[in-house]
Chain A
Amino acid sequence: MSARPGKYLALIPVLAAYLGMFVFGRVQPDMWQLVAMLAFYCCLGQAFNLFLGMTGYVDFGYVAFVGVGTYGMALTLSRLSGVEGIGFGALVIGLLAAAGMSAMLSIAVGAVALRLRGAYFAIATIGVNEGFRYFIEGARIWNGSEGIIFSKDLRAIFGRETAIALSTFWADVFVIVIGASAAVVTLIYMRSKIGFALTALREDEDAAKVIGIFVTKYKIIAFITSAVFAGLLGATAWALKLTYVYPPDAFEIHYTVEAIIIVMLGGAGTLLGPVVGGLLYGLSKYWLAIILPGFQLLIFAPIILVIIVAFPEGTVGYLKKKVRGTALERYIV
């Protein structure tokens, strides 16, 4: 911050967006669940963008990290519900477990897949989520295909009212905080050696290697960070909020696709992009589901196509170009 005072000004719009969601939800409490859904999409995009945006690598197995994080929290709550006076300690342990488990999975996947490039990386990760799901079901770990339903455990630990508040309010607040933290970390990376190395490797991996950048190391750093945020998102938005986890639901590739769409809509590699993409995606889905129940996807697909054709670099990517050279440049990153 000392060297260049304007270095972190770009955080203002993105943090304002997260704060705005929170404030809107508080002012308009009967729309809090809408805010929760939007925050989920923004946070999913923000965490995914940390890796895809900075490296240009597409991880098709990304949802596995969200799923593993969900299991981290679900296992903690269901196993610790009998411990006397555990209280909010269970949440802390759950979040740590989620972060730890997704980090471990990302190290395992990254150690192998990150040695591959571009399309080969995408192919190598495509099966991670399905593979992990079949591992849980086939090996019958973590309750296998029956999943974990832990609403009663949440009640046993916190009591009925607090458990409901955790599921319908605090879980969403956590998601907003996680999304905002992912944005902060993204900017810190962008403004540090890690970001410069990743930009170099994104533009030309061979050239980056030649100038002496240990590309695998930086890729792994970005990969693990992104996975940890995904795990925390799972622990809150899926575990704490919905209080159940079934393997087919938690490892559904659909969510990876949604993350890609959100990042593309907003602009890959931009800081503000995932928030804009998440809001665009979430709001249009929500309104179309209300106005045209059953037909929204027919309308939604062409809208996405048009946006992506009109703004190939995403809406924020387009905006960034427009404000280049103006005073706004420092805010739109």
Chain B
Amino acid sequence: MRRSVWKVLFGVFSLVALVGLLLAGPAAALDKVVIGHPGALSGKYAKAGEQARGGIEAAVKWVNETRGGIEVDGRKVPLEYKNYDCESKKESVTSLIERLVTKDKVHAIFTPYSSGLTLAGAPIAEKYGIVYMDHGGASDKIFKQGFEYIVQTIGPGSKYHAGTLDMIKKADPTAKKVALAYEDSEFARSVMDGAKQHATELGFDIVFERTYPKGVTDLTPLLSALKATSPDIVIGGGHFEDGQLFNRQMADLDINVRAFSLIAAATLPAFYEALTYLAEGVMGPSHWEYGVTFDPDAAAKEGLQWIGPSQDEFVQLFKDALGKDMIPDYHAAEAGAAVLALVLGIEQAKSVDSDKVRAALGDMTFMSFYGSWKIDKTGKQIGHDMVDVQWQNGKRVIVWPAGARTAELYYPMPTFAEKAAGKKATK
């Protein structure tokens, strides 16, 4: 009996091994460049994952149809996009990346969304020595680990408020006191650490700093303490729900400041729909917003090469890719820009070899509809400036950077009493 069991087991193993060997095909000559993406199409990052997929598909289509492909070895070959769904889960990320590299023979991996999933895939990308295009992991710590193949397009968390603070410093040199109140999460902490550092460098005083837990339902005690320090500038937030609560309770407690910036919440149209006039003059940083005015002229002015579709072309390609009448948000834009970066990197390296492409990406700088692009030697994005939006008379306008703005900054923000009386944040 025991012998027959072993025979059966041996038979099963040899069969499995044989099937596996048959499935592994020979390597083909380079007739296309393939991007692999273990996307987050379902699970908790599904929304951002859908945007990223749309952004990548839009950029790939532009490269193939408008640009005629990607130039390698003196001829243009098409760019292809191969994606799977990692369900926003770390277990799936590693196995899907391996499949993309070994079976689908892709030439670059695009990260899934979030810093966590980006980190989860990094060791396996390093193992295979393949360029790892980070379009959704903003944590600065990713770039302190010594990964050699990672290339970031999304701006690092620490840079979120650099522009906001520069802008206020310029508009009002007398503003001194900054209060920070934010959600206790990895993302908000990395953003606020950056804000704190930049504020100190610019000579602001941090008069208040406190966190609140995720899912908070009452910020009154925190805001009462904040009010006692009478800050000029309040920076904070974490997610949409707490950002909305933050703004509403600032109004309830009649805390009037000269500038008020919230991460994540203030850039969304739903923010103004929920708060209406209370949101007048409120600002928020974003990697990209529809309406920025980056174009070939702006690139020429800064002495950068331009690549990619115009903003409106990108929006149209994005809508076609997803088959939905949806405006792309920054998740789509940074994923699309990462495709453009890869295309330039491969063309400048004149090869799809990851070491050469990574080296070329390190020396490269360009501008696209997403703005300017440059990485440091760890792969961290240092060329891209965040944009700042402000709600002015019910419209979301871009007030920073100067090269991309659609309106002047309204400063100082109207008081809540003025807003209740009908004053809008426009001149």
A and B physically associate? yes
Please give the residue numbers on chain A whose beta carbons come within 8 Å of chain B beta carbons, in ascending order: 12-13, 16, 20, 23-24, 27-28, 30-34, 36-37, 40-41, 134, 137-138, 144-147, 149, 151-152, 155, 160, 163-165, 167-168, 237-238, 241-244, 246, 248-249, 285-286, 289-290, 293-294, 296-297, 327, 331
| Complex partner residue of A152 from B13, B87, B146, B213, CB under 8 angstroms | B146
B residues 157-193 near A (Cβ < 8 Å) are: 184-186, 189-190
The reply to whether the CB of B91 lies closer than 8 angstroms to some CB of chain A is yes
A26, closest chain B residue (CB): B17
The reply to whether the CB of B401 lies closer than 8 angstroms to some CB of chain A is no
Report B134 CB to chain A, min CB distance, Å: 14
B residues 95-112 near A (Cβ < 8 Å) are: 95-99, 101-103
Please give the residue numbers on chain B whose beta carbons come within 8 Å of chain A beta carbons, in ascending order: 1-2, 5, 9, 12-13, 16-17, 20-21, 24, 39, 41-42, 83-87, 90-92, 94-99, 101-103, 116, 119-120, 122-124, 126-127, 139, 141-142, 144-147, 184-186, 189-190, 213
Report B221 CB to chain A, min CB distance, Å: 15
Q: In the complex, which of the residues B95, B101, B103, B126 has the most CB atoms of chain A within 10 Å of its own CB atom? A: B95
Do residues B20 and A23 form an inter-chain contact, with CB atoms below 8 A?
Answer: no
A41, closest chain B residue (CB): B91
Q: Which residues from chain B contact A138 at a C-beta distance below 8 Å?
A: 184, 213
Q: Complex formed: what's the CA distance from A24 to B18 in Å?
A: 10
B122, closest chain A residue (CB): A151
Report B22 CB to chain A, min CB distance, Å: 11
Do residues B145 and A30 form an inter-chain contact, with CB atoms below 8 A?
Answer: no
Q: Complex formed: what's the CA distance from A289 to B122 in Å?
A: 20
Do residues B17 and A164 form an inter-chain contact, with CB atoms below 8 A?
Answer: no
Report A251 CB to chain B, min CB distance, Å: 13
Q: Complex formed: what's the CA distance from A82 to B181 in Å?
A: 34
Report A176 CB to chain B, min CB distance, Å: 15
With A137-B184, A160-B146, A289-B86 already in contact, the answer to whether A244 and B116 are too (CB < 8 A) is: yes
Q: Which residues from chain B contact A242 at a C-beta distance below 8 Å?
A: 90, 94, 119-120, 123
Do residues A28 and B123 form an inter-chain contact, with CB atoms below 8 A?
Answer: no
Q: In the complex, which of the residues B41, B124, B190 has the most CB atoms of chain A within 10 Å of its own CB atom? A: B124
A155, closest chain B residue (CB): B146
| Complex partner residue of A28 from B17, B141, B184, B185, CB under 8 angstroms | B17
Q: Which residues from chain B contact A248 at a C-beta distance below 8 Å?
A: 185
With A145-B184, A145-B185, A151-B123 already in contact, the answer to whether A293 and B39 are too (CB < 8 A) is: yes
Q: Complex formed: what's the CA distance from A165 to B123 in Å?
A: 9
| Complex partner residue of A33 from B95, B145, B190, CB under 8 angstroms | B95
| Complex partner residue of B94 from A27, A144, A241, A249, CB under 8 angstroms | A241
Q: Which residues from chain B contact A163 at a C-beta distance below 8 Å?
A: 123
Q: Complex formed: what's the CA distance from A12 to B3 in Å?
A: 12
With A27-B20, A31-B20, A243-B119 already in contact, the answer to whether A289 and B85 are too (CB < 8 A) is: yes
Q: Complex formed: what's the CA distance from A165 to B103 in Å?
A: 20
| Complex partner residue of A289 from B12, B92, B97, B139, CB under 8 angstroms | B92
Report B85 CB to chain A, min CB distance, Å: 4
B95, closest chain A residue (CB): A33
With A28-B20, A290-B84 already in contact, the answer to whether A164 and B13 are too (CB < 8 A) is: no
Q: In the complex, which of the residues B21, B85, B139, B147 has the most CB atoms of chain A within 10 Å of its own CB atom? A: B85
Q: Which residues from chain A contact B91 at a C-beta distance below 8 Å?
A: 37, 40-41, 237
Do residues B16 and A24 form an inter-chain contact, with CB atoms below 8 A?
Answer: yes
Q: Complex formed: what's the CA distance from A267 to B144 in Å?
A: 45
With A151-B146, A160-B146, A241-B123 already in contact, the answer to whether A23 and B13 are too (CB < 8 A) is: yes
Q: Complex formed: what's the CA distance from A308 to B106 in Å?
A: 38
B24, closest chain A residue (CB): A30
With A12-B5, A242-B123 already in contact, the answer to whether A290 and B99 are too (CB < 8 A) is: yes
Q: Which residues from chain A contact B99 at a C-beta distance below 8 Å?
A: 30-31, 33-34, 290
With A33-B98, A151-B119, A242-B123 already in contact, the answer to whether A296 and B42 are too (CB < 8 A) is: yes
Do residues B186 and A37 form an inter-chain contact, with CB atoms below 8 A?
Answer: no
Q: Complex formed: what's the CA distance from A33 to B127 in Å?
A: 12
Q: Complex formed: what's the CA distance from A34 to B91 in Å?
A: 9
Do residues B145 and A149 form an inter-chain contact, with CB atoms below 8 A?
Answer: yes
Report B99 CB to chain A, min CB distance, Å: 7
With A33-B97, A146-B189, A168-B127 already in contact, the answer to whether A293 and B83 are too (CB < 8 A) is: yes
Q: Which residues from chain B contact A147 at a C-beta distance below 8 Å?
A: 186
| Complex partner residue of A246 from B12, B95, B116, CB under 8 angstroms | B116
A-B contact pairs, 15 of them (CB 8 A): A12-B5, A28-B17, A31-B102, A36-B94, A37-B95, A151-B145, A151-B147, A242-B90, A242-B94, A243-B123, A243-B145, A289-B87, A290-B96, A294-B85, A296-B87
Q: Complex formed: what's the CA distance from A265 to B42 in Å?
A: 23
Do residues B184 and A144 form an inter-chain contact, with CB atoms below 8 A?
Answer: yes
B90, closest chain A residue (CB): A242
- Give the 7 A-B CB pairs with smallest separation, nearest first: A30-B102, A294-B41, A151-B145, A293-B85, A167-B123, A33-B98, A33-B95
Q: Which residues from chain B contact A137 at a C-beta distance below 8 Å?
A: 184, 213
Do residues A149 and B119 form an inter-chain contact, with CB atoms below 8 A?
Answer: yes
Q: Complex formed: what's the CA distance from A268 to B124 in Å?
A: 34
Report B150 CB to chain A, min CB distance, Å: 11
Q: Which residues from chain A contact B1 at a C-beta distance below 8 Å?
A: 327
Do residues A297 and B90 form an inter-chain contact, with CB atoms below 8 A?
Answer: no
Q: Complex formed: what's the CA distance from A76 to B9 in Å?
A: 40
| Complex partner residue of B87 from A32, A160, A297, CB under 8 angstroms | A297
Q: Which residues from chain B contact A16 at a C-beta distance below 8 Å?
A: 9
Report A9 CB to chain B, min CB distance, Å: 8
Q: Which residues from chain A contact B120 at a C-beta distance below 8 Å?
A: 242, 244
| Complex partner residue of B123 from A40, A168, A294, CB under 8 angstroms | A168
Q: Complex formed: what's the CA distance from A293 to B53 in Å?
A: 11
Q: Complex formed: what's the CA distance from A60 to B106 in Å?
A: 40
Known: A149-B139, A149-B144, A289-B85. 5 other contacts (CB 8 A): A24-B20, A37-B95, A40-B91, A145-B186, A289-B96
Q: Complex formed: what's the CA distance from A144 to B90 in Å?
A: 20
